[in-house]
Amino acid sequence: MLALPLLLSALLILALIRGGGTNSNSIHKNLVMCVFVAEVLYLVALKARSPLVSNEFPCKLTAIGLHYAWLSTFSWTLVDSIHLYRMLTEMRDVNHGQMRFYYTMGYGAPAIIVGLTIGVRADQYGNFYLYV
């Protein structure tokens, strides 16, 4: 429970920090936001476990949301690593400019993976354990 206020304060600090228009700051804001959403969804699923297990559709939606939120978190971690590598190896300033590739990697790739997983095995989402 302590993680949520700390994540919210980190997001607030990143939003108010000077030099907020950089790609690094945007990447970190998206990363913190994904962790925050994943934690909130996890805590809601944990508190409402018995009603979710008894109803199949909300259980599947919660499992899909958790899967997407955690994949997005790890994807933004990958984006942060790629951006740091580019900042260290490229001569030009990569900390300013388009974020299209980063947003595609951070949110698009997890959406494709979760979509393919739903398409292949939708019946196995949200089993008795609800991924909690």
Judge whether 130 lies within some domain. no
- Is residue 36 one of the residues assigned to a domain? yes
Instruction: Work out the mean pLDDT of the chain and round it to a whole number.
Output: 88
The 8-class DSSP code of residue 106 comes to I
Among 70, 90, 65, 81, which Cα is nearest to 27's? Answer: 81
Domain encompassing residue 72: 3-124
In a domain, 39, yes or no: yes
If one compares 119 and 128, the residue with the highest pLDDT of the two is 119
**Residue 25 within any structural domain of the chain:** yes
Contact present, 27 and 83 (Cβ < 8 Å):
yes
Whether 97 maps to a domain, the answer reads yes
Domain count, the chain: 1
In this predicted structure, the answer to whether residue 36 has a pLDDT above a threshold of 50 is yes
Can you give the pLDDT at residue 132?
45
Please spell the DSSP secondary structure of 33-94, one letter per residue.
HHHHHHHHHHHHHHHTHHHHHHSHHHHHHHHHHHHHHHHHHHHHHHHHHHHHHHHHH-SS--
CATH number at residue 12: 1.20.1070.10
Residue 23 and residue 99 in contact, taking contact as beta carbons nearer than 8 Å: yes
Residue 93, burial from CB neighbour count under 10 angstroms (0-12, 13-18, 19+): exposed
**pLDDT-based confidence at residue 128 (cuts at 50, 70, 90):** low
* Residue 1 confidence (pLDDT): 72
| Predicted local distance difference test score (pLDDT) of residue 130 | 52
Does 93 map to a domain? yes
Q: Return the pLDDT at 20.
A: 73
What is the share, in percent, of the chain residues with pLDDT greater than 70?
95
Quick check: 89 pLDDT over 50? yes
Weakest mean pLDDT among 32-46, 47-61, 87-101, 106-120: 47-61
